[in-house]
Structure formats: structure tokens, C-alpha cells
Amino acid sequence: MLHWPYPRWIAHRGAGTLAPENTLAAFRLGASLGWRAFECDVKLSADDVPFLLHDAALDRTTSGRGPAGDRPWHELSQLDAGSWHGRLHAGEPLPTLAAIAAFVLRNRHQLNIEIKPAPGTEQHTGQVVAGHAARLWADQAVPPLLSSFRPEALLGAREAAPRLPRALLLDTPWPDWDQVAASLGCVAIVCHHELIDDGLLARARGAGWRLLAYTVNEPVDAQRLLALGVDGLITDAVDRFSPGGD
């Protein structure tokens, strides 16, 4: 991508930790604070409905129990995904990718979709999520950025929607990661902020990739990364950083 259409600052899971993550309530709160770009986690229900949830299991952030991918959407849609965060958000449901797309498109926001497959469903999840994203963002000037730690998910995304931009997520370097990113046609690398230095930046630039950092919550880390010239900072600290500037 010669032109990078995404804002430099990206709100993690909607509004960081200020609202129940990966819910419409979080996106609304982030938007109310002036954020224009968001990151979220998307996985599949047992009947292939893309919805927002970070963990493989339902236990931490919903009233459900067990693996999320084992449940059909009609069951998942009845769960409470807000009470764990506080009484204010009691009854907040899990949103579908379609519901989040409607919100961000209506408000002209940008989205980074992290594909979070259940074990053994990596390529299929990438295919389904990318296919839905391609339809939901059809004819939009700025598509969502699809990212994943799992190369198989990005392979599936490329098969289903080759025109949507892809990014490889890295929490630690592993052998040949750059060759894998190149083979998948990635446009960006999204790294844990502690991995990023001049060498990694030069490596990314040499391959023609943009470089994004997660999860940048401390001003000293943000200042270092901005000085290096990273293209994006994903943060939980949506009430402390200004998304409108560097």
C-alpha cells in the first residue's frame, strides 16, 4: 500500500479498559473520546457467524462458560458480555462483525480486525472473516486491515478476499517470519512495542511494510516509537493519549 489510509493512533478493543472490551459500548465510548480508528478481535461461532471476542473461552468476559467456538450464534447472542466490567454495562451483548461494521462505517471510522481462530480452524476462520469483511466494506474507500498471529488465518483471508490488506502480528520473532509475511502478501507488521527498534524498522521498510506497535500504554514508550517513525500505535490508554496528534 503506497498510501497508508489509517490513523496513527488506534484504540485497542474499542476503548481499551474503560468499557467491556470488544463490545459496541466500548466502540461508542472510544468514539466519544475522539478516536477514529479501532482494533478488535473476531472469531467464529459454531455456525460460522463472525463475532467479537478475544479469548478462546467465554469465561473471562461473558456469562458463558467453555470454548466460544463450540456455541451457535443464537446462544452466544444471549450472553452478558458487560457485567464482568461493572454494573453500568450489565446486559451488554456480544456484537457481530456486521454490527461493528455498521457502527464504524456510519461514523467514518477505520478498523483493524484481528482474526482469532479456534485451534484447528485457522484457515477456515480467515476465509469466513475476510469474506464477510469484503462484503460489509464493499465499495468503501478504506477497507479494514486484517491481522493475525496465525499465518494460516491470513492465508485463508487472502484466498477469500485478496484485495483486503493483511498484517502479520508478532509477539516474538520466530524463524523466517519475514519470508512468511512476504509470501502472504502482507502490507504491514504489527509487533509488541518492546520488539521495535531501528533494525526492525529498517527491515520492515526494506520489505515495503508498514510497522505498527501494540499495546502502547505509557507515554515514554509512545514517544520512543513516534521518534522512530512507526506507522501505528495501538493503545488501551484512550483517555490519556490524544488520537488527533502525535
Report the catalytic residues. Answer: 12, 54
CB atoms inside a 10 Å sphere around CB 36: 18
Phi-psi region for residue 121, left (φ > 0), alpha (ψ -120 to 50) or beta? alpha
243/59 Cα distance (integer angstroms) = 32
Q: Which residues contact 46 (CB under 8 A, 6 or more apart)?
A: 69, 70, 71, 72, 73
Three-state SS at 208: coil
Give residue 210's Cα distance to chain centre: 16
Q: Is the distance from CB of 35 to CB of 107 less than 8 angstroms?
A: no
> What does DSSP assign to residue 159?
H
Among 160, 109, 171, 110, smallest CA distance to 135 is for: 160
